[in-house]
Amino acid sequence: MSRYCLPMAVAAGVLLGACSSSEPVLDSRSINIVDADGADNSAVTVNSREIAAGVFEVGEDRFSGADIRKALRTGNLDAYLRALSDTSCHGSSTITAPQPINLSVKLVAEQSSNPAERKFGELTFIASYQLTSTDTRFGGLSGLDLVGDNLLAVSDAGRFVWIDLSPDGVTPVAARLAPMRDLSGAAMDTADGAGSEGLAVNGGMAMVSFEGDHRVLAFDIGRCGAAARGAPIVFGAYGLPLRDAFADAHIEVGDKDGSEPLAITDDWYLFAGIERKIGQFNSLSGRPIEAEPEFNLRVGINAPEFAGLDIIPDSRRNGSVRAFLVHRSSANEDSSIVITETDMLRYLDPNGRPGGGEMGERARWRFSETGWRELGNLDRLGVKESYEGIAAKQMSDGRVRLYIISDDDFSGEKRTVLSIFDAPKPLR
């Protein structure tokens, strides 16, 4: 469990046609889910509770980014996470529900029902769905993660999209949407797009990475739902900008080549990748959320560009993780989508100097790549979708369920497709 965890906001979903099998028959059925009665363009407050941080003095301003810097100086992780939460929710614990939107879910019938043909290398194909909505705000989905048994996605236009799944854990059945908000509370879903790309959720806190103005913001959707504001994650006691971290690693990163791959451990170690390749490799940072990122890990040798990332704990080694990566070629003539897995060992750096307090000790722990494998190439699906987001779920039998979503770029020529695969047990 995470050190700082608030209850998740759960809005009622519409469940239609729940499947009894985890491997639905591939045909061309469509499931249409209509708007909830009386739904409008405003969010609805559905629940509230006491302010966890206590009573605030009249006129006291404790919700600026400066408070996060102050918390960092204490060296205490809980104080830092509390400051992120208070800044994001402006001291409130009223949970504001996102707006339901209509959703059309079509089971894509492109893969044979022959079990032998469901294999994509090491991956087992489960299902593939095309998602559409008459709500023009729906689309551009790039980051993906699990929130309980359902999915949360981010749109590159600055929106959160909740996607509810049926009890089979496969079929999408409902969707809700809310704009991201900046520190002032203003909506970030502008006509020019917000540049939001990557997503990592832990304990109700949604971390979102942005390209262009390279940064990571924390939205405590578990505490205040759709009202959450983007609290800046200040890297290090002096606020090293993410662009400076790229420069320190001697990696030239353009406006469109930021940290789209994003993931986080239960104990708040943040993994951030870079889309742009460095020679044969992709670059990755795996450091405490409160520490300065270091893009010194190299993954995905000879794979296409790094587009998506999720991690799960490695049960074989305490603190280590299994990382699942989406690689997408940017070359139009060779737009391959490759899924890989990398083992990341957590170890105590023998050369690391003991630091002050809890954060100083956390900074001594690092990750090292100890093995990798290509799980599968998705080209056999018969389409060239722009898959970017990935979410990984540990199954009770040792398999890992992978949810992968494509970005339609708000273009009529592309689709939003959610594909589900099962990955095998660990390498060894």
Can you list the domains of the chain with their CATH numbers?
103-179+194-221+244-423 (2.120.10)
Detail the DSSP E strand segments found in 290-386. 297-299, 305-313, 321-328, 337-348, 365-377
What residues contact 199, with CB distance under 8 A and at least 6 apart? 143, 144, 145, 152, 153, 154, 206, 207, 208, 209, 262, 389
CA distance 386 to 27: 23
CA distance 185 to 204: 19
Which pLDDT score is estimated for 192? 58
Which pLDDT score is estimated for 289? 94
Kindly list the distances between the CA atom of residue 272 and the CA atoms of 115, 207, 268, 298, 306, in Å, as whole numbers in the listed order: 36, 11, 12, 12, 11
Which of 147, 149, 154, 143 has its CA nearest to residue 166? Answer: 149
The pTM of this model reads 0.85
DSSP assignment, residue 200? E
Which pLDDT score is estimated for 136? 94
Instruction: For 170-209, give one letter per residue: b (16+ CB within 10 A) or e.
Output: bbbbbbbbbbbbebeeeebbeeebbbbbbbbbbbbbbbbb
Per-residue pLDDT of the chain (428 residues; tens, 9 = 90+): 345 444 333 333 322 333 333 334 334 344 444 443 344 444 433 332 223 333 333 333 456 678 888 888 889 999 999 999 999 999 899 999 999 999 999 998 555 567 667 889 999 999 999 999 999 999 999 999 999 999 999 998 999 999 999 999 999 999 999 999 999 999 997 655 678 889 999 999 999 998 877 889 999 999 999 999 999 987 655 455 677 777 776 777 766 666 789 999 999 999 998 877 777 778 889 999 998 888 888 887 778 888 899 999 998 888 899 999 999 886 654 568 899 999 999 999 988 777 678 999 999 999 999 999 999 988 877 667 889 999 999 999 999 999 999 999 888 888 999 999 999 988 66
Which pLDDT score is estimated for 112? 57
